[in-house]
Amino acid sequence: MKKSALFAAICVPAFLAAAPLAAKTLVYCSEGSPENFYPGINTTGTSFDVNEHIYDNIVDFERGGTQVVPGLAEKWDISADGTVYTFHIRKNAKFHSNKAFKPTRNLNADDIVFMLERQWKEDNPYFKVTSPNHSYFTDMGMPKLLKSVEKVDDYTVRITLNQPEAPFLSNLAMQWAGVQSKEYADAMLKAGTPEKIDQDPIGSGPFTLVNYQKDAIVRFKAFPEYWGGKAKIDDLVFAITPDASVRWAKLQKGECHVMPYPNPADIEAIKKDPNVTLMEQAGLNIGYLAYQTTKKPFDDVRVRKAVNMAMNKKAIVDAVFLGSGVPAKNPIPPSMWSYNDSVKEDEYNPEAAKKLLAEAGYPNGLETDLWAMPVQRPYNPNARRIAELMQADLAKIGVKAEIKSFEWGEYRKRAQAGEHQMAQLGWTGDNGDPDNFLHTLLGCASAQSASGSNIAKWCYKPFDDLVTKAKVVTNQAERTKLYQEAQKIFKEQAPWFTIAHAVQLKPVRKEVVDFKLSPFGRHTFYGVDLKGK
């Protein structure tokens, strides 16, 4: 057993035993360690789960839903032309403190401006601290969309856009827009340690970070002065447990209360456990295999189509998801508005695939790589096994695929840089808007960014024109038509082999009260209580 894993196994029960009897401690068996504590550069749900307890946003999503509700802004006004947003910031939001810094004021407009300018203005002293790769901000086209961000007074911020942006409020409720303290940032810059604000975070969220041991544990305490009222639990512990079987064993023993991403093979046993409730809902996600469309042979749509037709999607999904996923034909899930069910799925036809490959100039097949993620994700329970099934299918049409993998952080970095020929990845929606899938994952802005989420590097003007226009249109019926046309083009051009939409399954111990499934796959414990504590 690795030292870090051993530490986690020993220290969680010890921590629980040491906690005062009156304290309510909830333990969440997280699947991995956060990338860091700076929301502006995070791209994984693992990091989102940690940071959303520390930071607040200007606006938020209702718990368990996609409706935008007040956050740090108590109310807002939008101009008639949809380009000017005025946010009225609540006056009772306080920042946490730590050993290095004690705030002297409540959260105000300066902090909102700092959050945006840190990601937008390259001359901001914090633009490059930790990383200049503000993936979400860039992929959503924010640098060109924002015209100005002004502090009107201490508790009023005005954001002016260069053009209307239909999903703008929903985008502000996403993780990248978590608000940090400018006062803390200024103090750390003066001290010559600007990186501290991302390593030892201070936010205004419902929990303060107490301790973090990479690959072992994250400890939080309820923030008693939280503007929304103190959390019902006193202590929150993320016990980092990468193995799904170990997570399930811990849940059975009561060593953790909630676990994510169970093994599909364990579902029947989970359903039979009298101490556990299996929460379930359709997932707002997509798992896919992206073709690097700027590299041979995948710069040819015929090759992409041939590979799509060579793989038996239904057999792959049946074998790996075991009923916990449905085959995907579109890049957005069926539960999302504007889903185009009339799109025709690529048929599984190895003979037709061979002919198309020959037509593209590969009568004897070809060689390629096939990247498989090293971790279980909400949209993919076993990427290695899927890669092996794909490899076997491709061999039948003369395509020799070498399976490759890397450490998870390295995998994402290399895929975003476009080093692969074929790579598995996926996405869980952040805001319930199709733009979050179609523009962020497949738009030209994201393809051209060195750290963009469009790992197919697919920039196709007819598609990009549609999804860019849909951002500006506010009428949902009109936006739906544009997105449905975009899905047709996506299918014709085949930058991905769409694999599956996973069902969101969450085993929760029965003493947990008011835990809600998030459509975005997040794990939020503000508002959650424990029975009998």
pLDDT per residue as tens digits for the range 486-525: 999 999 999 999 999 999 999 999 999 999 999 999 999 9
Which backbone phi and psi does 80 adopt, to 5 degrees? -60, -35
Query: In the prediction, which pLDDT does 17 show?
Result: 43
Residue 65, pLDDT > 80, answer yes
Label residue 44 by pLDDT band (50, 70, 90): confident
Same domain, 270 and 336: no
Q: Is residue 338 pLDDT above 70, yes or no?
A: yes
| Residue 205 forms part of a structural domain | yes
CA neighbor of 228 nearest in space, from 532, 524, 510: 524
Is a pLDDT exceeding 60 seen at residue 3? no
Model pLDDT for residues 425-444, shown as the tens digit of each residue: 999 999 999 999 999 999 99
How would residue 533 be classed by pLDDT, with cut points 50, 70 and 90? low
pLDDT at 19 over 90: no
Same domain, 343 and 464: yes
Residue 1 scores a pLDDT above 80: no
Query: In the structure, what pLDDT confidence band is assigned to residue 5 with cuts at 50, 70 and 90?
Result: very low
Position 297 in a domain: yes
For the segment 353-373, the average pLDDT, to the nearest whole number, is: 98
One domain for residues 302 and 390:
yes
Q: What is the pLDDT of residue 78?
A: 97
Does 439 share its domain with 311?
yes
Pairing of strands 84-89, 156-161: antiparallel
Decide if 130 is inside a domain. Answer: yes
367 and 422 inside one domain:
yes
Domain check: are 260 and 302 in the same one? no
pLDDT value, residue 379: 95
* Per-residue pLDDT, 9: 44
Band of the pLDDT at 13, cuts 50, 70, 90?
very low
Cβ atoms of 320 and 390 within 8 Å: the answer is no
Residue 113 lies in a domain: yes
CATH code of the domain in which 301 resides: 3.10.105.10
Mean pLDDT of the chain: 94
- Quick check: is 14 in a domain? no
- Residue 248's region, left for phi above 0, alpha for psi from -120 to 50, else beta, is alpha
Going by pLDDT thresholds of 50, 70 and 90, the confidence category of residue 52 is: very high
Is 469 within a domain?
Answer: yes
Domain count within the chain:
2
Q: Which domain holds residue 340?
A: 285-503
Q: Are strands 325-327 and 217-222 parallel, antiparallel or unpaired?
A: unpaired
Residues 298 and 234 in one domain: no
